[in-house]
Structure 1
């Protein structure tokens, strides 16, 4: 299967400063790729280059086997984009704005638009200037999700939305996946990325520091263990491969352990009468913080 997005050794320089140094990743049909990093890491710059809004300094950036800069107009026919800093026409109503955005794209579905308006509970008759940040974001999401595209690029798409609206958004992304659409999701809400993404690309200071599925990345940090035994749990605290020991009582403790030491722990536990053993793999947030606390 050919990738829809192919980025190799992308670099972008502003004067003598490199905003992007070495970015490489791919996005395939039917998958959601989480593109994460702190403010200033280079996520939005990468997306602008993908959309042909900025010219790369070096590297390869192709969408649908077309050059992102040279063939940007053709590429835009197959892409829907929601920016994080959404700017709209203040004196148009929400309905007029969505209709205009859909018409500019050309692949709008009126039935789908009405369905999304109902789901997101948006009053189309109000002018954009009266909308809250969340309602402005709904306009962008409805306009993007109501067009039929092969690639959806979403930069902080749920900024300003309440948890119920976030849940509706997540349902829509799941629908796109089933239709074999590709989604590049840049979000600071790590739980959202963890729930939706098939693969994750972590970017730091203009370079990709880790990429892969969550399962492939979980070895990068420790799992949390909740243990309850019938005998004394304290002797475990002295084992060299056990970290962050927190003893609840003489029979219970919580601690963390590196992935490669799991067999050692299980061997030791054969000498204990276990009442409860809960192993919690690291979350995306823990993986993320591991890089940005360095």
Structure 2
């Protein structure tokens, strides 16, 4: 079953187009990254999926249920973590979480609150207004997981967490993944996406420009080539597939997309001190798409 399915999802704010014709799907049990810089349309997509705002055109389903007509049923199965957590300021954390648990048909929710709070080192007796940004995010994480949802939808989930707590948070996500929970998370921190996700979508100005597995994006299509040159040496491989090339001092850096055998043959025709061919990081792939790809993309 598809955990999420979008068909031509479009949202306008007045005349401003926030997202346009988004068509892609997320498989049940998949960890799916949704990446792009601030303003690309990530949060609008998530808010539309959760029926906080209505789409202008198109449709979407979560576990086969329509996001508008069956929103109430969907919310029983979703754990949502917003980028910024806001609750009733004068309530204690335990009061907030118990109140949240009351919306779900889960008798284990209170026990789950205690377990998660201990893992995250969250003081349940503090008032929400007295919490730091990081501790507010911890409250949001507990609220997201307390009812053992089938799908987690997270918007910039690690904002405010210190490095040690980020590690604990990712341990929690891996545990959820092992249970078969679907995880859809938006982030502009590409190292998080590369570490956690099975597939990733890249969104630019509200449009999908790439949708593929992390493995395909980083291994099968691109290579980074670092050539250490002799003093005063210039190298021009004259090869189709070179999409970025920059020489700094004695070092020539190339981002290549294409047939690796042709690349190796071209390199064999040149002399140089050393060469290293590596798989690029997701950051490098992202920057390539953002700098060179036209708007628009298709589901894979």
What's the counterpart of residue 132 of structure 1?
132
Query: In structure 2, do the counterparts of structure 1 residues 257 and 204 end up closer, same or farther at CA, with 3 Å as the change threshold?
Result: closer
Q: Which runs of 5+ in 2 are unaligned?
A: 293-300
Query: In structure 2, do the counterparts of structure 1 residues 260 and 233 end up closer, same or farther at CA, with 3 Å as the change threshold?
Result: farther
What's the counterpart of residue 176 of structure 1?
176
Q: Deviations over 1:83-130 (max 9, x none)?
A: 112111111112222222222233353333322212211111111111
TM-score scaled by length of structure 2: 0.85
Distance 2:49 2:258 in 1: 39
Confirm whether residue 82 of structure 1 aligns to residue 97 of structure 2.
Answer: no
What's the counterpart of residue 190 of structure 2?
190
Contact 2:36 2:188 in 1 (8 A): yes
Deviation (angstroms), 1:65: 1.2
What's the counterpart of residue 217 of structure 1?
217
Contact 2:101 2:110 in 1 (8 A): no
Give the number of equivalent residue pairs: 287
What's the counterpart of residue 146 of structure 2?
146
Query: In structure 2, do the counterparts of structure 1 residues 13 and 171 end up closer, same or farther at CA, with 3 Å as the change threshold?
Result: same
Q: Deviations over 1:141-172 (max 9, x none)?
A: 01212221111111111111111111111111
Query: In structure 2, do the counterparts of structure 1 residues 261 and 102 end up closer, same or farther at CA, with 3 Å as the change threshold?
Result: same
What's the counterpart of residue 244 of structure 1?
246
Q: Deviations over 1:198-217 (max 9, x none)?
A: 11111111111111112222
Give 3-state SS (helix, strand or coil) of 2:165's partner.
helix
Distance 1:118 1:70 in 2: 38
Distance 2:164 2:22 in 1: 34
RMSD, aligned CA: 2.7
Contact 1:227 1:278 in 2 (8 A): yes
What's the counterpart of residue 121 of structure 1?
121
Where do residues 35-54 of structure 1 align in structure 2 (5 Å cutoff)?
Answer: 35-54=34-53
Where do residues 230-241 of structure 1 align in structure 2 (5 Å cutoff)?
Answer: 237-241=235-239
Q: Deviations over 1:3-35 (max 9, x none)?
A: 011101111122233222111111111111111
